Each structure stands twice: as C-alpha cells, then as structure tokens.
Chain A
Amino acid sequence: MPDGIYQRMFEREREARKRAEELLESMSLELFAAYTQLKKSSEELFTIFRSVTDGILTFDSTGIIETLNPAVERIFGYANEELVGRNIAMLLPNRELEFPLDDSFWLNRCSEVQPKFSTQGLNAKGKVFEMELSVSRASQAGREFYVWIVRNTQQIRSIERKIAVSQRLEAIGQLAAGMSHEINTPIQYVHENTKFLRDAFEAMESVLSQVEHHLSSDPTEEPSTLSNRFRELFGGNRLAFFRTEVPRAIAETIHGSNRVTSIVQAIKEFAHPGNNEKTALDLNHAIASAITVSGNHWRSECEIETNLDPNLPMTLCHVAEINQVILNLLINACDAIVENPMQASRPGKIVIKTWHEAEFVKLSISDNGMGIKRENLDRIFTMFFTTKAVGKGTGQGLAMVHSIIVEHHGGNIDVVSQPGEGATFIISLPQSL
C-alpha cells in the first residue's frame, strides 16, 4: 500500500479518536454535571427527609419496613436498624391487629379513601400514644409499597384536654360564687327559724310543766280554781304568738332545707365527674338542674318558661359536657336580656323547649334579648369572639358549645335571630338506641 493511503488512514483514525475523545470528554463532563446535580438534589431530598418533624416510613405490601427517617426513630423510640426489615405491626397496639394487616387493610387506609386519621401507636417502651397518620401507596419499577406520614398528637390532645378541664373549672368557679348567694339566704332563715323553735319550745315547756305541777300538787283542788289558773297561764300574748308562728316556722324551715338540698343536688349533677364513657341522659332533668344551678344569674332579670316533651327519649352523651352546654346557653340568653337597652320596657323571658324528631332529640332556648346582628351570626361560634364588654365574657362559651355538640356528639346547632327581638338556639342530638 502506498504511504499516502496509510497516511490518510492514520489521519482519519487520529481525527476519529480525537473526536471520540472530545465526545467522551464532553459526555463525561455532562455526566459529571448531571452526577453533581443528582447528588446535590438527592442530598437535598435526603436532608429534607431526615429533617422533617413528621415521621416518614415506607414498607412493602407484606408490611416489611424498608426506609424511615429520624423523626420515626424519635416518635417510636427505636433506632433505624431495629425497624428496617421488621413488620409494621410492631408499631401498632394489639387493638389494631384484630384486622389482618394485609394489602387490603392498608389499601383501605390510603389517602384517597381516608385522607388523614387519628389512631394509636405503640412505642419502644410499650406505651400507647395518640398519633395522626396518612397513608399513601407508591410504585417504583413495578414494585408497590406504602408510605406513612406519622405525627405524634399525644401532647396536643393532652393540652386540649387540659383546656377543656380548665374551662369547665372556670365555669364552675363562676357558678360557685352565685351559688353561695343562692344557699346563704335559705340557710339564714332555716337557722333563725330553728332558733325561734327552740325559744318557742322553752316557753311552751314552761307552761306544760306548770300545768303538770298544778295537776299533781293538789288533787282536792276545785276544778274552777284549776281552770282559773290555766286561764292565767294561757292569758299572755306570747303563747298565742307561738301557736300561730310555730307551724309556719316549721313549714318554712322544711321549704328552706328542701331548697338547699335541691341546689346541692343540682351542683352535684352538674359537676358530674366527666368520664370518657357516654351515658344515657334525661335532657329534661338536665334542664331543670341547670335552671336551679343558675338561679342567681336569671332570677332578678327574667322569667323562664319551660315546655318539655314528657315522652322525650334518653340521649347518649357525655353528661358533664351537655350540662355545660345547657348552662352556657342559659347564661348567654340571660346576658342578652340584661344587655338589651330596651330591657326596661319589656320584661325578660327565656323559653326552653324539648321535643323529638326522627332519630334526634331537640332542645331550643329562646330569649327576648337584644338578638344577634346579621354580620355577627357567622362568627358567634368562633373561639374568642365576643360582643360583651371586657371582663364580661371571654368568647369561649359558644365556641365550646359548638365543639361539644358538633364534634363530640355528632349533633347539630342552629341559631335564628331577629336583631333587637331576641335569639333562639336549637340543638339536635342523636338519641340513644
């Protein structure tokens, strides 16, 4: 072969190699850039994955845990290697395990079916706690797996519970002040009447003993002298006074002590220790208690008319909470009457009704107070919203009523109001079975 050909082949080869090298270089540069980019974003994702406060955990369709972030370690108290490769069942209290933890179990709990739900978790120390869970299903390279996003809500729950308790205590505290006024008046006259009865008995006793003395001293005494002596004994006004006043004092003392008993009874029922179980409640009875308990608030301001359904079915509820609702609405109605600038021209009146309708027990409380302005109607159930003067209301009463009726009991609350004319609150509670 002639040299020229070799030369050209060599040149071409060299060109090709150079291009290839250039290509390789640019490709590897690209690759490097892509690799750097990928590394950066994966590091970013990993940092995000590690730093979020919600726990993220993946497991395959048989429940075997694959990956998790440090938040999961914190929430459950296990180290990464203690979880990977184990079954998800170890993070759930036994109660949940009544269902087979198979694919369909998680499929039903995926966010498309159930967006976010509260359940209980089991930590490394064996303690059950409240958590909020959202489950999603993912697939990668034809392989299906599940992702958990988990948050510990134990603390939030316990704070919420504490707030609820403190609100109840605050309400009871306010009541106690009014209550002492309710009890002090009857106690005063019960006590004074008893002392009066003691004095009356002493006076009568002295007459009786003199009668006894006269009868036993001289059996031969003339009946006429004897009757004169008795006439003398009975002559004074004092005895006549006792004879008319003693029966009245006794009747009023009984009345007073009954009043105290019924007030104390009502407080006892009202302060019913709130356990977590729902119990059957006679709403009519609860209303009567609330009226007694709050007497100090309304007695001098308005009258209360009740129209209670005698055939009202029992309702299954948290008794203390429903008592609270009735009382809050009652005091609210009373405040609306007191704050009404027209109060002087129109005597205050509160009407309480109960009835039942389909599966629901219904209660309405109406007042003829100042009513609710249209623009406020949407906001009255908002926490801390109040139109009352500073120191008169904290804006928590109606918010609490709403949360108790709607969230805790699956009931409903409606309000109808004509500004200046009054307002009616209507509550529906599911009746017990």
Chain B
Amino acid sequence: MESRPIILFVDDDPMLLASTRRRFASLADDWELHFAESGQMALEISDRVMPTAVVTDMRMPDMDGAVLLTEIQRRVPDSIRIILSGQTNGEELAQAHVVAHTILRKPCETETICNLLRQCFSMRQRLANPTIRKLIASNASIPASPTAISEILVLLRAPEMSIDHLTMVIRSDLGLYAYIIKLINSSHYGMRSRIHDIDQAIMLLGVSALRAIFCGLKLANSLSPKIEEHLCADVFDGGMRLAHRVLRLANHHGKSKLFADDCYIAALFQDFGQLVFAACFGNEYTQLLARAKASGESLSKLEQVAYQCTHAVAGAYLLTLWSFSPQIVECICQHEDTVDAISREPRTVEEFVRHASQNEVRSQ
C-alpha cells in the first residue's frame, strides 16, 4: 500500500494559500498538505518531503511557476505538476506547457483541483511500476512520430506558418492530436465545454501560441527515443478505424453529439499507451510488439511480464495527467481487460467502444 499522497501548494499570495488550506482541511487525513509562499521555499519543502503533486501559481517574484516546475521535474521526476494561473496570455504560458501536465485557470474551484488530483492519484496507483511512472511523468516530450515532429519543425521555421498545413500534420498524428486536446482543454483557455474537434482547437489556440509552445517542446522531443514510423501509423490507423465505427454506432443509437464525441476520442486513443511505451523504451518495445504479433501471445501478458504494467494503463495515466475526462480515460485503461461479450444494448461510452471493437474483430 502506498503512503498517502503529498501535495505542495505554491502561491505568493498568502491569503490564497490560507483559503486553499481551509478548503483542503477536511482532506488532511487522506492527503499530506504543504504550502509555500515562494519558489525558493517550495524547493526547500520539496527536497524534504518529495511531493506527489505540486500545484503552483505562474507569476511570482524571483522564481515563476514554469521555472519552479522545471526544477521540480528534475528533482522529483515522477511528480504531478499543475499550474494554477491567473494569466490569459497563451504565449506567456508556452514555457509552462512544456513542464506542467495541466494548466488550470484562476478562479478555479477547489473541487476541480481536488477531482483532478484524485484521478491522477488513483490512476498512478494502478500503474504499479515506479520506473514507468517516473518515465511517463518526467517526460516532457510528445509521443509523436518523428516525421510529424520534423514536419512541425519545418513549419515553425517558415516566416508565416500556414494553419491549414499545420492542421494537416497534427490531425495525422496521434501524439500531436492528444497534445492539442490537452492544450485546449487545460481550462486555462477558458472554454466551458470540452473540445474534441481538432480544427476548432487549433483555431482557438492560434498560430502564435502554438509556435511558442512547439518551440519550447523542440528540445524535449529531441532527447527522447524516436518512435518507429510504422508503429505510429499502425496505432493511428487502428484508432481511426475504431473511432469511425463507434461514431456510426453511437449515431445509430441516436446518442447526443457530446456522447458520440467521447466515444470517438476513447476509441481513437485506445492504443495511445503503445506510443507512450515506445517513447519510453524505444526499440525494446517494438520487438515486444513484434513478438506478440508473431506468436499470438497476449500483448498485455507480455507487457505485464516485462514492465509490470500494460500499455492501456500507461496511456491512461498520461492522458489523466493531461486532464482528459475520467470517463474516456477509464475506458482506455480497461480496453484490454477480458469481459464477457455484451449481449444487451450498449449504454456507457466504454460499452459502445467495446461493442464496436468486438464487431470489428468479428467482421475481420
């Protein structure tokens, strides 16, 4: 059993910290809470207690939130890093996007922070292997195909970035796709409802903010192992096929647009974890995939043996850190579990995706 999570709150306004302390007081039995009024103080506490999660303000004198989290990322690589910012400028937050898993916008309900932390903690607990936990949480790169990344870099160098071209590159790569969704749904951008439409998301973010964010990510991505091109293509094609199938199924059942969108995303990112593993282990994981394919052994079992954790859980963990909705993440987390064939009408997102994927197997 893990010891209870340790959370460190950082804000230069003592009154904001006091109100947070009061609101979290009822959770003091479950979580260990620490409060710091400056980046320096936060680092001292962090070295002592090794926090599970850090929630920090962005604009502070001496050391801003992004700098603090970069340092925390180095010292406590598996920490969950959240920025709670009053700022609205997308470009100013570009550096923060590279090191923070989620950016929340002030004013933000304590319940929202609490729920996000709870989801992260529970998903983290299911990811038994601490090494993988560390790899996923510390990695600032995007599990995207090298071709897509280099295309983005070429686009960045052009004096005027074409938004159409950019959209094309992003929507043909699962890693970039997920990353854009993470950016837009970080409630920082002020949207009430979640946005899953990638074109709309890119428009809302704007080219200049994206340019700043991708520039920041350039270095991070050059340090992590390259994911093999064909794996990216396989995972993307598989996700797309299933996503379209489940979308048709949901529409056929007369489900709402919102529900159908959730199904679509849950299906599209079903095997996102394979990319996460590939970004962590490179060639070693590609060989494991090949072995499963050749021998017909269960991929989950092989992954369990090798990493004490499946790609489903790994993918779900990263998407949780990126504040994807719990419903979708839960569905991705359990997609490899064996469940009896559903005889009744599908109801939940999970059942819809399962239904679609069983139909797919049957039709092959």
List residues of A whose CB falls within 8 A of some B CB: 177, 180-189, 191-193, 195-196, 199, 241, 245, 248-249, 252, 255-256, 296, 299-301
Query: Within the complex, what minimum Cβ distance (angstroms) separates A61 from chain B?
Result: 65
Contact with A along B160-203 (1 / 0, CB 8 A): 00000000000000000000000000000000000000000000
Q: Is the CB of A188 within 8 A of B19?
A: yes
What chain A residues lie within 8 Å of B108 (beta carbons)? Answer: 188
| B219 at interface by CB-CB < 8 Å | no
| B226 at interface by CB-CB < 8 Å | no
The residue from B20, B89, B107 contacting A184, defined by CB atoms under 8 A apart: B107
| B23 at interface by CB-CB < 8 Å | yes
Given A185-B86, A189-B15, A189-B18: 9 more A-B contacts, CB < 8 Å: A188-B16, A189-B13, A192-B19, A193-B19, A195-B23, A195-B110, A249-B22, A300-B12, A301-B61
A426 to B354, CA, bound (A): 74
28 contacts between A and B (CB under 8 A): A180-B86, A180-B88, A181-B59, A181-B86, A181-B88, A184-B86, A184-B106, A185-B86, A186-B15, A187-B106, A188-B107, A188-B108, A189-B13, A189-B16, A189-B19, A189-B20, A192-B22, A192-B110, A193-B19, A193-B22, A195-B110, A196-B23, A248-B18, A249-B18, A249-B19, A256-B15, A300-B61, A301-B61
The residue from A183, A185, A299 contacting B16, defined by CB atoms under 8 A apart: A185
What chain B residues lie within 8 Å of A183 (beta carbons)? Answer: 86
Residue of B nearest to A252 (CB): B15
What chain A residues lie within 8 Å of B60 (beta carbons)? Answer: 300
How many residues from B make CB contacts under 8 Å with A?
26
A187 to B57, CA, bound (A): 14
Residue of A nearest to B11 (CB): A185
Q: Is the CB of A181 within 8 A of B87?
A: yes
The residue from B18, B88, B110 contacting A177, defined by CB atoms under 8 A apart: B88
Query: Within the complex, what minimum Cβ distance (angstroms) separates A317 from chain B?
Result: 33
Contact with A along B55-96 (1 / 0, CB 8 A): 001011100000000000000000000000011110000000
Query: Within the complex, what minimum Cβ distance (angstroms) separates A362 from chain B?
Result: 32
| B290 at interface by CB-CB < 8 Å | no
- Contact A241 to B13, CB < 8 A, known contacts A177-B89, A184-B86, A188-B106: no
| B25 at interface by CB-CB < 8 Å | yes
What chain A residues lie within 8 Å of B105 (beta carbons)? Answer: 184
Contact with A along B12-41 (1 / 0, CB 8 A): 110110111011011000000000000000
A383 to B267, CA, bound (A): 57
The residue from B11, B12, B107 contacting A187, defined by CB atoms under 8 A apart: B107
What chain B residues lie within 8 Å of A186 (beta carbons)? Answer: 15
- Contact A241 to B19, CB < 8 A, known contacts A184-B86, A185-B13: no
How many A-B contacts are there with CB distance less than 8 Å? Answer: 72
A186 to B19, CA, bound (A): 10
What chain B residues lie within 8 Å of A192 (beta carbons)? Answer: 19-20, 22-23, 109-110
Query: Within the complex, what minimum Cβ distance (angstroms) separates B12 from chain A?
Result: 8
What chain B residues lie within 8 Å of A255 (beta carbons)? Answer: 15
Residue of B nearest to A299 (CB): B61
What chain A residues lie within 8 Å of B16 (beta carbons)? Answer: 185, 188-189
Q: Interface residues of A: mostly helix, strand, loop or mixed?
A: helix
Query: Within the complex, what minimum Cβ distance (angstroms) separates A423 from chain B?
Result: 23
What chain B residues lie within 8 Å of A199 (beta carbons)? Answer: 26
- Contact A241 to B87, CB < 8 A, known contacts A189-B19, A191-B107, A193-B19: no
CB under 8 Å from chain A, chain B span 208-225: none
A238 to B62, CA, bound (A): 37
Q: Is the CB of A196 within 8 A of B107?
A: no
Query: Within the complex, what minimum Cβ distance (angstroms) separates A385 from chain B?
Result: 25
A193 to B11, CA, bound (A): 16
A195 to B16, CA, bound (A): 14
What chain B residues lie within 8 Å of A245 (beta carbons)? Answer: 22, 25
The residue from A196, A248, A300 contacting B59, defined by CB atoms under 8 A apart: A300
Residue of B nearest to A200 (CB): B22
A255 to B11, CA, bound (A): 17
What chain A residues lie within 8 Å of B87 (beta carbons)? Answer: 177, 180-181
A252 to B20, CA, bound (A): 12
A184 to B89, CA, bound (A): 14
What chain A residues lie within 8 Å of B25 (beta carbons)? Answer: 241, 245
- Contact A196 to B89, CB < 8 A, known contacts A184-B106, A189-B16, A252-B15: no
Contact with A along B94-129 (1 / 0, CB 8 A): 000000000001111110000000000000000000
What chain B residues lie within 8 Å of A191 (beta carbons)? Answer: 107, 109
Q: Is the CB of A185 within 8 A of B110?
A: no
Most buried by B among A184, A249, A300: A184
Query: Within the complex, what minimum Cβ distance (angstroms) separates B55 from chain A?
Result: 12
What chain A residues lie within 8 Å of B15 (beta carbons)? Answer: 186, 189, 252, 255-256
Query: Within the complex, what minimum Cβ distance (angstroms) separates B42 from chain A?
Result: 16
What chain A residues lie within 8 Å of B22 (beta carbons)? Answer: 192-193, 196, 245, 249
Residue of A nearest to B89 (CB): A177
Query: Within the complex, what minimum Cβ distance (angstroms) separates A184 from chain B?
Result: 4
What chain B residues lie within 8 Å of A300 (beta carbons)? Answer: 12, 59-61
Query: Within the complex, what minimum Cβ distance (angstroms) separates A229 from chain B?
Result: 25
Most buried by B among A180, A192, A300: A192
Query: Within the complex, what minimum Cβ distance (angstroms) separates B357 from chain A?
Result: 42
Query: Within the complex, what minimum Cβ distance (angstroms) separates A363 from chain B?
Result: 27
A256 to B25, CA, bound (A): 21
Query: Within the complex, what minimum Cβ distance (angstroms) separates A12 from chain B?
Result: 96
What chain A residues lie within 8 Å of B106 (beta carbons)? Answer: 184-185, 187-188
Q: Is the CB of A252 within 8 A of B18?
A: yes
What chain B residues lie within 8 Å of A189 (beta carbons)? Answer: 13, 15-16, 18-20
Most buried by A among B18, B57, B89: B18
What chain A residues lie within 8 Å of B88 (beta carbons)? Answer: 177, 180-181
A311 to B199, CA, bound (A): 61
A122 to B25, CA, bound (A): 75
Query: Within the complex, what minimum Cβ distance (angstroms) separates A189 from chain B?
Result: 4
Query: Within the complex, what minimum Cβ distance (angstroms) separates A182 from chain B?
Result: 8
What chain B residues lie within 8 Å of A299 (beta carbons)? Answer: 61
Most buried by B among A186, A196, A249, A299: A196
A189 to B109, CA, bound (A): 10
What chain B residues lie within 8 Å of A241 (beta carbons)? Answer: 25
Most buried by B among A180, A188, A299, A300: A188
What chain B residues lie within 8 Å of A296 (beta carbons)? Answer: 59
What chain B residues lie within 8 Å of A252 (beta carbons)? Answer: 15, 18-19
A196 to B105, CA, bound (A): 20
Most buried by B among A177, A183, A189, A248: A189
Closest 10 CB pairs of A and B: A184-B86, A189-B19, A184-B106, A181-B86, A188-B107, A300-B61, A192-B19, A196-B22, A187-B107, A189-B16
Query: Within the complex, what minimum Cβ distance (angstroms) separates B106 from chain A?
Result: 4
Most buried by A among B11, B15, B57, B59: B15
CB under 8 Å from chain A, chain B span 247-306: none
Most buried by A among B11, B12, B89, B106: B106
A248 to B61, CA, bound (A): 26
